[in-house]
Structure 1
Amino acid sequence: MADRSKKQSRTTTKKNALDIINGNDALLILKALANEDRSIAKRIEQIALEYLRDVDFEKIASQVYYALERIEVEDLWDQSGRMRDGYVEPSERAWEMFEEALEPFTNELKKYLDLSLDNEAKNYCMGILKGLHRFDKESTSQFKDWVEDAPDEFFERILNDWKKACKKPEHIQEMEDFIERGLGN
């Protein structure tokens, strides 16, 4: 009798596979479906593009700011100085940590550019730039003292890279106006 109740409780708590798969699994499944049926592939692409078109530069700016703000100076100290296998210059490691925090955002911007989603790439870039500017002007973190020039340098680098990839002069003008107006403040 006890075995029967255990079996029943297992069947009632069984989860739906869609509720427990991870992102990598989902991507493999979507690709398999797309390979099986061209109409499904087109619908997947349509949904993906609809999803990607929703770029809120203010939200991106906040995410960039908080990604940089979360870097703890203690982590820098733990990852630099005299180490078991040599010496890691703290200022160099600080710049690496800064760049690592920005990497998901620059990768996402590259994705928009690669997909020729020009308007979305412009908005995403605006968000990154505004987040960098906000970090530069508002942050009081101790980590910021180790990367004083990084916000400006990365601002210029990201802006220049975007301008090189931008195909629309009107978007470049919009970006310049945005920057001149104080980044939407």
Structure 2
Amino acid sequence: MARRSGSNASQRKSSPLGSLDPAERGVVLDRLLIVHPELHGDAERLATDLLVAVSVERVASEVEAALVWISLDALAARSGRMLGRGYVHESEAAWELVNEAIEPFRADLDRRAALGLLDAAANLAVGTVAGVYRVREPEEGTVLAYAGEDTPTDLAEEFLDRAAKLGVALPDDAAESHWPGWSDLW
């Protein structure tokens, strides 16, 4: 048996397909499905498999990181005297930045719910609120702290309301398991 040299990862990177960025891979997939429409069903199944695989823990970690690592430089650039806006208080600018950080998770919830992937949407909602719960007492001097002490609970309530309006039912044990100090939220 012939021995393969190098790892699969290095072989992928040395091929044109392996070197593509995500947008370029999307173009290749689109073109492949035009040339081979018989692959459309397989592509849909693979896409669905990808969308239903939502880890509550992974989402919680991503949300936590998104909220903790908002740059103070970004806050400084958005607050104070702003041309065309007048004076913008740091708490208002911080709230805007926090909302921008959580927006991709809102959009993902909407997308999965619209596709009827309600279990995946539920895991995403639980993970998002769990991630916000992890930063419920933000470190002083962070953008999240500048946004206001009620910001984490406000974000969590808004996310849970959004999930409910989309018809996403959360597991009965979600609050107890993932945000026990906020059992009154849901």
- Scaled by the length of structure 1, the TM-score of the pair is 0.80
Q: Residues 34, 107 of structure 1: CA spacing in aligned structure 2 closer, same or farther, 3 A cutoff?
A: same
The structure with the greater share of residues assigned to helix is: 1
Aligned residue number for residue 62 of structure 2? 63
What's the CA shift string for 1:52-71, capped at 9, x where partnerless? 22111011101101110001
Equivalent residue number for residue 78 of structure 1: 77
Task: Give yes or no for contact 1:130–1:183 (8 Å, CA) kept in 2.
Answer: yes
Report 1:20-99 matches (<5 A): 20-85=19-84, 86-99=86-99
Q: Percent identity?
A: 29
Per the alignment, residue 107 of structure 2 pairs with 107
- Please identify runs of 4+ aligned residues in structure 1 that moved more than 3 A: 83-86
Work out whether residues 69 and 141 of structure 1, in 8 Å CA contact, stay in contact via their aligned partners in 2.
no
Q: How many residues are treated as equivalent by the alignment?
A: 165
Structure 2: 5+ residue runs without aligned partners?
Answer: 1-12, 181-186
Unaligned runs of 5+ in 1: 1-13
Cα distance in 2, alignment partners of residues 165 and 83 from structure 1: 37
Do the aligned residues in 2 keep the contact of 1:112 with 1:121 (CA within 8 Å)? yes
Query: Which residue of structure 1 aligns with residue 167 of structure 2?
Result: 166
Counterpart code for 1:120: A
Deviation at 1:184, TM superposition (A): 6.0
The structure number with the bigger radius of gyration is 1
Indicate the RMSD between aligned Cα atoms, in angstroms: 2.1
